[in-house]
Structure 1
Amino acid sequence: MTGSRRPRATSRGRASRADRAGEDRAGAGRTASRRAVLVVGLVVFVGWMPPPVRGADPQSYVTVIRPTGQGDLDAAISASSSLLSLQKTKAVSPFALAGRIRNDYDRLRTALESYGYYAATIRIAVGLRAGGHAAPSAPPATMDGQDPRLPEWLLAVPKGQAVQVTITPVRGDIFHLGQVTLKPSPEDGTAPIVLNAPERTALGVASGHPAIASDVLAGGVNLQAELKEEGHALAQVGTPKAWLRPQTHTLDVEYTVRRGPIVTIGAIALSGLKRTHPAYIARRITLHPDQLYQPSHIEAARQDLASLGVFSDVQASDAPPLTAGRQMPLNFAFTEGKQRMAEVEGGYSTDLGGRGGVSWTHNNIFGNAERLRLTTLVTGLGGSAQQGLGYDVYADLLKPDFGDRDQNLSVRVEGIRQLLYSYRQTALLVRAGIVRHLGRRWTVSFGGEAEQEHIEQMGMSNDYTIVSLPLSATYDSTGLTNPIDPATHGVRIAASATPSASLISGTSFFTILQATASTYFDLSHVGLSRPGRSVFAFRGVVGSVQGASTFEIPPDQRLYAGGSATVRGFRYQGVGPQFPNSKYAIGGTSMDAGTVEFRQRLFRSFGAALFADAGQVDTGSSPLHGTLRVGAGAGVRYYTPIGPVRVDVAFPLNRPAQGDTWELYIGLGETF
């Protein structure tokens, strides 16, 4: 039987494997030893090395912009720099700061070009702030903002060290406008655009003018507005195209102009009316179909409707397309405001004491913008001129456009009780009158009034029935729509004549004449302050009763002075003839008073005032007679969104024996 023989391993072969295994183990040992030595050496080396410098992240910085010498340009550069606007509000890493610096080049160049400096250069340098140490990995003390090594330089800035970014804009030569071209739009054909004189004035730019971007853009906007005002309702002036000519330092500009046809107003639609009657608005609106389309007249009509006090918003818009006869329909969209409103009012002075109460108003009670106001006040809460509590309760109804535009009917029914030291009065009054506006500054009113009253004075009681026909006119050039806003310029004049008849023990006829004038001078006109901050205010008051002597007319119809409306520092009705050894004022038939007041705004919401008042009352019919009384004082103001809160303290400089030593006045709004 045959078979294969397996070779036998010799002892030599076994010994050879063992030797090799030993050699491998010896080599591994030597390798491990070398590794151990390296590890120990590395540990020793690392322990010997100083700790690495850690870069700041986020990196704080300060931006400094060198002035160009042109104030408005410097303001535009500062407003355009994101480095400046974000340095205190946004944390930024070193890499992001480098990107912010790069982005500022374009932003600042745009600002310079907008003022006509198309050849300007901008240099931005970055360095450590004073007291810092140079970055170890960046040998230069400063880096250029466009250097590609800037991010690495910023990374090497020590932690806690701020950097300073210095921007130096260099204006260079200003560019001027070259060719100014008006290109007709495809809708107008190929006929050249020829501007008339008002249109050229509206455009306002021409060859040779400085190439200021805002002027170029405004020219197109103004030209479009002028074209629309001439009746071109579809007029459009596109955004101008510009070509820079560096060789000649000029900028060529092209406007695309579409005139379109001259258009008249078409149908006028009213939307959004709920309680308000559309027929009333249609009568009130100052526009009519077939009228020339003019945006200024449309805006005036919108503002007129908004002034009714019924709407919280009024919008006027075109309603294209054009209808037959080239007419543009219009749409007036109304948002009606709150119809009912409740208010709380109050005031205090040491002479009249405190007064306070509530009012309820309905702004559109019958749907034609009629306003009904109901008011209840408690008066005489203390006060040196008061003998007890009183009241003032009244209802006011205002009906606009009564019989004609800009003519209102005003009706009041009022009940009064006041316990003054001069007299005690309980009265019921009914008055009705027409108030007519003559333009923006003049207002006239006329009407009738009837009063039934009971008056006690010095132990005597009388009942009076008085009828009168008051007539008045006012002029106001201050431009204020809110009567309690402080005036800073202009003139206010009010004059009235009230023929009256007192029906008691026969009929007594008399006429009360009164006039008040005030004016305001802002010291900004002579360069001494900013507008509205420092103002002198002047007031004069004069009155006279014609046709009757003092004791022939009821006490409440006589003239008095004293208090915030005439002479501060003296109590209400405290200036003029008095009954002997008493605080009871007699009143008179002539009166005059004047005021000088200086008003100074302090900070944002506070102000102060210094004032001096003087006045007199006499029993003759001619003013400027009687004992002149003078008061002076000071006050503080706190300005709120609805008007200034006023606190005044005044002192009489020549008070009578029975007079008060000082007076305090608190109220809303200035005294005049």
Structure 2
Amino acid sequence: MLGLLARTANRVVTGVSLWGVSLGCAWAADPQPYVTTVKPTGQADLDAALNASSDLLGLQGTHAVGPFALAGRVRSDYERLRTALESCGYYGGTVTITLTRQGAKDGVKLDGQSSALASWIEGIPEKEKVTAEITVEKGPLYHVGQVSLLDPKTKAPLTLNTTEQNAFGLKTGTPAVAETVLGAGGKLLEAMREEGHALATVGTPKAYLRPESKTLDVVYDVTPGPVLNIGTINVAGLKRVNESFVRRRMTVQEGQLYQPSKIDAARQDLTSVGVFSSVAVKDGADQAVNGTMPLDFTFKEAKRRAIGAEGGYSTDLGARAGINWTHYNLLGNAERLKLAALVTGLGGSAQQGLGYDVYADFFKPDFYSRKQNLSVRLEGLRQLFWSYRQTALLARAGLTRQVGRYWNVSYGLSAEQENIQQFGVSRDYTIISAPLGGAFDNTGVGNPIEPATHGIRASLNAAPSVSLGNKGSGESFFTILNATASAYFDLEHLGISKPGRSVLAVRGTIGSIQGAGTYDIPPDQRLYGGGSATVRGFRWQGVGPQYKNTRYAIGGTSLDAGTVEYRQRILKSFGMAGFIDAGQVGSSSAPFTGTLRVGVGGGVRYYTPIGPVRLDVGVPLNRPERGDKWDLYIGLGETF
């Protein structure tokens, strides 16, 4: 600590008092039990430092020690407690440790550094405890006096620029707290390195006590060194990942100003690619090389293949379960291929029977441009909803591009060949669409399963589509528009909880289909409400126009829904939530039409390392005649 670096000719000497009683024929207590009390100083941070520094207090819960070991703890506590005092800026304080036999009324005062200390303890009868009372007089608070920054070779003073001065921040008159004084040097070093001084050094400060003025003069040895650019970037540890891909992906280049923050950002970005278990970077030399600083990147590749399971359950859609296989580095450029096969519709109230979902996903990062990713999906599925039965083949390809810190845009093409049976009529559809979208996310959560605690997520999408004429159906042109936004408020800002423990989450959704009427649009392209995506308590497709007062949903051309949810973590691994959902589906293209449905409910959470396991129960407040009385939802991650 800083206090050990201080030098003064008039050091304050502290003493110890030992009180005890001689009882004649006492036998040695070995080991010797004891208890410790530390009298509060009235300053919370100082009390915490004293309690943390005391060996007598910290070790009393361990097995009892012998007289000589206990005497050693007493003596060592003086220096430890003085250091704690000085680290908080109190350089003139005193420490007194008093040992008393429990129940003793009179005693003999001994010097704590005396050789008689251990003998006194040894004379205490067996099983009789000793009380160690620590009293600290903190004395006056010292402040920083003169601050000097010197070249260690020439001893000449250094002048800081504005950026370095602001980072350093230590000024005359500041309380001489060790954390502040030591931290100032670290901040100065960080600022200098950020300006390209890769070889800069800031030594441990030397402190000089001035008892007459109650100040502490501080001297730092500072060597800025030259301003350097990034030199040769060396890459090691690559086995199956192409080095060309890694170098294209790097956000730092040779000749760029040496800045640790940007170098570490490049390391984190490479880690996020998903093919490395670790990425490390360090300076490649201990001195400048032709006016530059080389960098050494070292990679450890993760496993390339993985087999996983997928599953979920809700009372409306039933159980969904299956397996998947993923290759994380298919062609050596972090391409990801995922194959999955799932059984769907197991026991759902909105289902008429078992279905399947089989798909292949291909993902290629940095497709023709950095921060532009290609996604391709081929999928075959069968869904047997009460509202319609669908058997379909789908092909989708799209690009997602990051256009700002929080913004992404996406565009692509989609084709679908399907057969749908609805209300006793079977039709074939060929649908081609060109989806376009934009998304904003400043929640700071990269993993979609990890719950957000603050910030906003928003998306806006448009899908111009054409349904080509096939058997039993005509051609139609329509555009599906939808927007969703969610906001998260950490109640820590109100002072009523710790960060991330109490969160209020709000979600709103609005959708519209333009250009065609309900029955001119294929049933799977229409808008539906109900379920965890809109209104819990109502089964999937349970909100909106129904066919002849049955449980068969027609679907609509407009949708609006909103959710307010309160999330509370309990203990370390558990949590709970309460929510209210409302929404409606209309037969016109204008939202806010149709019958408004409202559901309420709550649930529990179990937090795992990969995200929360969620169990929610929703109850409809204005249930239609044939609607469900309640619905259960189980999944991984929050609903939104």
Equivalent residue letter for 1:263: L
Q: Where in structure 2 are the equivalents of 1:526-541 lying within 5 Å? A: 526-541=494-509
Q: Where in structure 2 are the equivalents of 1:66-81 lying within 5 Å? A: 66-81=39-54
Specify which of 289, 310, 330 is matched with residue 254 of structure 2.
Answer: 289
Equivalent residue letter for 2:46: L
Q: Where in structure 2 are the equivalents of 1:8-407 lying within 5 Å? A: 54-128=27-101, 132-134=102-104, 139-140=106-107, 149-186=116-153, 189=154, 192-320=157-285, 325-407=290-372
Q: How far apart in 2 are the matches of 1:456 and 1:90?
A: 77
The change in CA–CA distance for 1:141 and 1:491 in structure 2 (over 3 A counts) is farther
Q: How far apart in 2 are the matches of 1:566 and 1:421?
A: 18
User: What secondary structure is seen at the aligned counterpart in 1 of 2:61?
Assistant: coil
The change in CA–CA distance for 1:322 and 1:165 in structure 2 (over 3 A counts) is closer
Equivalent residue letter for 2:163: P
Q: Tell me the equivalent position of 1:30.
A: none
The offset of 1:143, in angstroms, is 7.8
User: What secondary structure is seen at the aligned counterpart in 1 of 2:97?
Assistant: strand
Q: How far apart in 1 are the matches of 2:123 and 2:146?
A: 52
Give CA deviations for 1:349-373 in whole Å, capped at 9, x if unaligned: 1111111111211111101111111
Does residue 1:614 correspond to 2:582, yes or no? yes
Q: Tell me the equivalent position of 1:11.
A: none
Specify which of 621, 624, 627 is matched with residue 653 of structure 1.
Answer: 621
The change in CA–CA distance for 1:52 and 1:364 in structure 2 (over 3 A counts) is same
Equivalent residue letter for 1:66: K
The change in CA–CA distance for 1:209 and 1:133 in structure 2 (over 3 A counts) is closer
Q: Tell me the equivalent position of 2:562.
A: 594
The offset of 1:517, in angstroms, is 0.9
| Residues 148, 157 of structure 2: 8 Å contact kept | no
> What 5-or-longer segments of structure 2 have no aligned partner?
1-22
Q: How far apart in 1 are the matches of 2:256 and 2:572?
A: 47
Give CA deviations for 1:379-426 in whole Å, capped at 9, x if unaligned: 111111111111111111111111111000111111111111111111
Does residue 1:572 correspond to 2:540, yes or no? yes
Q: Tell me the equivalent position of 1:41.
A: none
| Residues 81, 108 of structure 1: 8 Å contact kept | yes
Structure 1 or 2, whichever has the larger Rg, is 1
Give CA deviations for 1:490-536 in whole Å, capped at 9, x if unaligned: 11111111111111243200111111111112222112222222211
Specify which of 499, 519, 528 is matched with residue 464 of structure 2.
Answer: 499
Q: How far apart in 1 are the matches of 2:577 and 2:414?
A: 38
Q: Tell me the equivalent position of 2:477.
A: 509
Q: How far apart in 1 are the matches of 2:136 and 2:491?
A: 37
Equivalent residue letter for 2:136: P
Equivalent residue letter for 1:357: G
The change in CA–CA distance for 1:502 and 1:66 in structure 2 (over 3 A counts) is same
The offset of 1:75, in angstroms, is 1.7
> What 5-or-longer segments of structure 1 have no aligned partner?
1-49
Give CA deviations for 1:83-137 in whole Å, capped at 9, x if unaligned: 2222223432233222212211111111110111111111222334xxx543xxx
User: What secondary structure is seen at the aligned counterpart in 1 of 2:329?
Assistant: coil
| Residues 228, 288 of structure 2: 8 Å contact kept | no
Give CA deviations for 1:62-86 in whole Å, capped at 9, x if unaligned: 3222222222222222221222222
The change in CA–CA distance for 1:391 and 1:267 in structure 2 (over 3 A counts) is same
The more displaced of 156-165 and 661-670 is: 156-165
User: What secondary structure is seen at the aligned counterpart in 2 of 1:580?
Assistant: helix
Q: Compute the TM-score of the two structures, normalised by the length of structure 2.
A: 0.92
Q: Tell me the equivalent position of 1:465.
A: 430
User: What secondary structure is seen at the aligned counterpart in 1 of 2:452?
Assistant: coil
Q: RMSD over aligned Cα, in angstroms?
A: 2.0
The offset of 1:572, in angstroms, is 0.9
Give CA deviations for 1:458-497 in whole Å, capped at 9, x if unaligned: 1111111000001111111111122111211111111111
The offset of 1:569, in angstroms, is 0.6
User: What secondary structure is seen at the aligned counterpart in 1 of 2:141?
Assistant: coil
Give CA deviations for 1:430-461 in whole Å, capped at 9, x if unaligned: 00000011223111110000001111111111
Q: How far apart in 2 are the matches of 1:565 and 1:288?
A: 44
> Higher relative contact order by CA 8 Å / sep ≥ 6: 1 or 2?
2
The change in CA–CA distance for 1:97 and 1:586 in structure 2 (over 3 A counts) is same
| Residues 393, 414 of structure 1: 8 Å contact kept | yes
The change in CA–CA distance for 1:579 and 1:106 in structure 2 (over 3 A counts) is same
Q: Where in structure 2 are the equivalents of 1:413-432 lying within 5 Å? A: 413-432=378-397
Equivalent residue letter for 1:174: L
Q: How far apart in 2 are the matches of 1:404 and 1:438?
A: 12
Does residue 1:524 correspond to 2:492, yes or no? yes
The offset of 1:649, in angstroms, is 1.1
Give CA deviations for 1:253-300 in whole Å, capped at 9, x if unaligned: 111111211111211111111111111112111222222111122112
Give CA deviations for 1:293-350 in whole Å, capped at 9, x if unaligned: 1112211211111111111111111112656641221111111111111211211111
Structure having the higher helix fraction is 1
Equivalent residue letter for 2:146: Q
Q: Tell me the equivalent position of 2:374.
A: 409
Q: How far apart in 2 are the matches of 1:143 and 1:425?
A: 93
User: What secondary structure is seen at the aligned counterpart in 2 of 1:97?
Assistant: helix
Give identity over the alignment, percent. 61
Q: Compute the TM-score of the two structures, normalised by the length of structure 1.
A: 0.88
Does residue 1:456 correspond to 2:421, yes or no? yes
The change in CA–CA distance for 1:51 and 1:377 in structure 2 (over 3 A counts) is farther
The offset of 1:155, in angstroms, is 3.3
Specify which of 553, 560, 569 is matched with residue 528 of structure 2.
Answer: 560
| Residues 179, 253 of structure 1: 8 Å contact kept | yes
Equivalent residue letter for 2:138: R
User: What secondary structure is seen at the aligned counterpart in 1 of 2:217?
Assistant: strand
Q: How far apart in 1 are the matches of 2:108 and 2:592?
A: 81
User: What secondary structure is seen at the aligned counterpart in 2 of 1:658?
Assistant: coil
